[in-house]
Every structure is written in structure tokens, then in C-alpha cells.
Amino acid sequence: MGDMHVATAIGCIGFSWATSPACTELEMVTTDWLGKMLGLPEHFLHSHPGLGGGVIQTTASETVFLCVLAARTKLVSKMKSANPDIRDVDVISRLVGYSSDQSNSSVHRSGLLAEVRMRKLESDDQFCLRGETLRRAIEEDKAKGYIPFFVIVCATLGTTGSCAFDNIKELGPICQKEDIWLHIDAAYAGSAFVCPEYRHHLEGVEYAETFSTNPHKWMLCNFDLSVMWIRNRELLVDAFNVDPIYLKHQNQGRVPDYRHWQIPLGRRFRALKLWFVLRSYGVKGIQKYIRRHVSLAEELEALLVKDGRFEMAVPTVMGLGPNKLTEMLHDDIMAHGLIYIIPAYARAKGNDIYFLRVAMVSEDLTSEDINMTFSAITESADRVLKQMAS
């Protein structure tokens, strides 16, 4: 409703504070509310006296891309202040960024778009990127003659394939020591941090330069609404500052002009839909929604385990729960069209295993839907096994 009836209806294009003070200020208020709800460090909030703050981007991919560009600019400036004759291209061509092999495709894509080498590091048997792996990769790259300037470590809290969590407590201090920009991508699982019982996954978040999550994934906001918090806004604002006369206003510098925090100039009044959701559900309502999804995911897991023919490729984490047979199962489920289910790959004991994942996201899910999902899966399994036997 906030999106359709208010944001779209008033058609505000709030690229600077002056074009719509409400658009800017409500975004500051709602991103602070959300940051507090998730238990993020105070330095990410606008209300903190530091340089941090939240901003609404369209997608998590755009946030990663922006972070890569800002980190790239930071490194180029640092190199140039030490050696003014060095060319940008000589620095950029030797930068390297890291993420786990489980990270979302947007990380690799950001590397391609920003022309920065992104290296995928092997995650452990829990699909988690560990500090020791990062430390070794850094040493290897230094030894190979790459200039030891590292753009970004994209740590994922809740990976796309299996909802795994990178070990930020281990990665953070390494990034700090090497002056590496640590971005935390919690696109899906970030919403769960509204429940204190999941906040242990956030340990080490204080090392992050940026953090992002998508309320459009698991917090009842319609697409698009992705929130990014940055500890030092100057790294973003100064990196891409273009300030023509027609965009200037009297309060410049005293309030955020969000056009500097994003790629486009124009921007929608997205804070309204976040405001509507937060005010309608409240913290308790959102906690209830998240907890219900987790328990529905566990319900489905219990049914599948009890059936005896299925193996849990990864334990059910939050709301997300070999090979040829599973591919056939997937094809059969899709051909029958009752439920939509997507596959993923995970590595176990050195082998890639193909598994099916079910994500709980719709607000109105009930146990009936879980039973229907279970029936759709087991009926497909019956058909596939029969076909194999014949």
C-alpha cells in the first residue's frame, strides 16, 4: 500500500534533500529503525555522531557493485597519494577481491563490471568461508606479485544455495590488518536478525565497512527494497561526487543527498513502504512472521526425514531447507507444476552434490502448504523411483 498508493501516487523524485526533505529524512529514520531492530552496531546509524548511515538501494547486487567501485576508488587514491605518477589502470589491473565459492553471482558480476579480479575461495564442509583460507589466499596473491591491495571481501550471512554463514569473527581482523573493505551480504538471512536468537551470526559485524539486507526478500516488503549501511559515508559520497549547479541547495553538506549514495540520480520514495511495514507489523509482528517460517521449514524437514527416502544435504537453517536421481526428482516436480523448487550445488567430502531447496517466504504460509509441498515431493519421488525400477 505504501508503494502503490503513496509512493507511486505522489511520484516524488527525491534525489537530493531539497527535492523532498521528507523522502530523505524518512529514509534516515526508517533505516535507523531497521538497523536497531537487527542489532547492527550504532556506528551504522544516522543518529550516531559518526559518519555512518543507511540508504535504500534497489538490490543487493547494486550494493555490492557500489562497494567494489568505492573500495576501488579508495585504493586508487591511497596509491596516488603515495605515488602521484601512477596511473589508475596500473592499480586497478592488479587489485584482487575475495568471496566464498558459495557467494551470490552478483559478487562475481560486480568484479566483471568494475574490471576487478574477484577470487572465489573454498568454503569449509559447512559451506562457511574461514579466516585461514582468506589469510592463505592473501599470502599467495602477494607472493605471485599482485600488488597487495585488496578490494573487497564479501562475506555472506545466509548464502543463496544453503543459507550458510561465513565466519566474520575470523575474517574481520584479517581485513582490518590488511586494510581490506569488508562487505557483509545478508540479503536473505539479514531479516532473521530481528530475532535475538539469530544474532550470534552477526558476531564480528563491527569489522564491516558495509552491511546489506533485502527486506524485499524476507521482511514483507514488495520488490524492490534493499538496505545498505555504511560506516563512513564519505567513502561513497566522495568517490563519485559530481556537483553541478542545478543540483545545489542551501543545506548541502548538512543533510545526506542520497543521489551521492547510489548510481542513478532520481530515486523513488521507497522509505514509505518500509515505514508502512514497520509500523503495521511492529518488531513483534515481524519476529512472529520470521519464527513461523523457521518452524514451517523445520516441519517440512521432519516430514522428509521421516519418509526415509530423502537426505538433508544441509541442515535446515532459518527458512531454507545425489545427483542424477535428484535431478530427475527436480524435473518431475517442475513438470507437475504444483510447487516451484530450485536446485543448488553444495560440496561434501570433495564432491559436488546437487540438492533441492525450499524457501519459506510467503506471508500466508500454513502447515497445509507444507503438507501439500511434502505430497508434491513424495509423489514425484514415487514416480521417479518407479521409472528407475522399470
Quick one: which of 305, 374, 387 has its CA closest to 333?
A: 374
Nearer to ligand PLP, 159 or 262 (CB): 159
Nearer to ligand PLP, 346 or 381 (CB): 346
Beta carbon of residue 161, minimum distance to ligand PLP (angstroms, whole number): 9
CA distance 321 to 339: 15
Q: Is 75 exposed, middle or buried (0-12, 13-18, 19+ CB in 10 A)?
A: buried
CA distance 386 to 154: 44
Q: What share of the chain is helix, strand, coil (3-state, %, to 5)?
A: 50, 15, 35
Residue 355 identity (one-letter amino acid): F
* Radius of gyration, alpha carbons of the chain: 22
What cell was used for 103?
557467494
Nearer to ligand PLP, 27 or 185 (CB): 185
Nearer to ligand PLP, 76 or 236 (CB): 236
Nearer to ligand PLP, 104 or 133 (CB): 104
Beta carbon of residue 245, minimum distance to ligand PLP (angstroms, whole number): 34
Nearer to ligand PLP, 131 or 161 (CB): 161
Beta carbon of residue 230, minimum distance to ligand PLP (angstroms, whole number): 17
Beta carbon of residue 333, minimum distance to ligand PLP (angstroms, whole number): 20
CA distance 366 to 159: 25
What angle (nearest 5°) sits at the alpha carbon of residue 319, between those of residues 314 and 322? 30
Nearer to ligand PLP, 30 or 102 (CB): 102
Beta carbon of residue 104, minimum distance to ligand PLP (angstroms, whole number): 3
> Measured in whole angstroms, how far is the alpha carbon of residue 239 from the centre of its chain?
22
CA distance 6 to 270: 10
CA distance 301 to 175: 37
Residue 24 identity (one-letter amino acid): T
Nearer to ligand PLP, 185 or 257 (CB): 185
What cell was used for 78?
591511497
Beta carbon of residue 258, minimum distance to ligand PLP (angstroms, whole number): 18
Instruction: Spell out the residues 6+ positions from residue 51 whose beta carbon is closer than 8 angstroms to its own.
Output: 231, 232, 233, 234
Beta carbon of residue 228, minimum distance to ligand PLP (angstroms, whole number): 11
Q: Looking at the DSSP assignment, which residues form a beta bridge with residue 154?
A: 99, 183
Beta carbon of residue 224, minimum distance to ligand PLP (angstroms, whole number): 7
Q: Is 352 exposed, middle or buried (0-12, 13-18, 19+ CB in 10 A)?
A: exposed
Nearer to ligand PLP, 56 or 304 (CB): 56
Beta carbon of residue 136, minimum distance to ligand PLP (angstroms, whole number): 24
What cell was used for 122?
573454498
CA distance 331 to 319: 23
Quick one: which of 387, 383, 381, 370 has its CA closest to 308?
A: 381
Footprint of ligand PLP (CB under 6 A): 59-61, 104, 106, 156, 158-160, 185, 187-188, 214, 226
Beta carbon of residue 187, minimum distance to ligand PLP (angstroms, whole number): 4
Nearer to ligand PLP, 81 or 362 (CB): 362
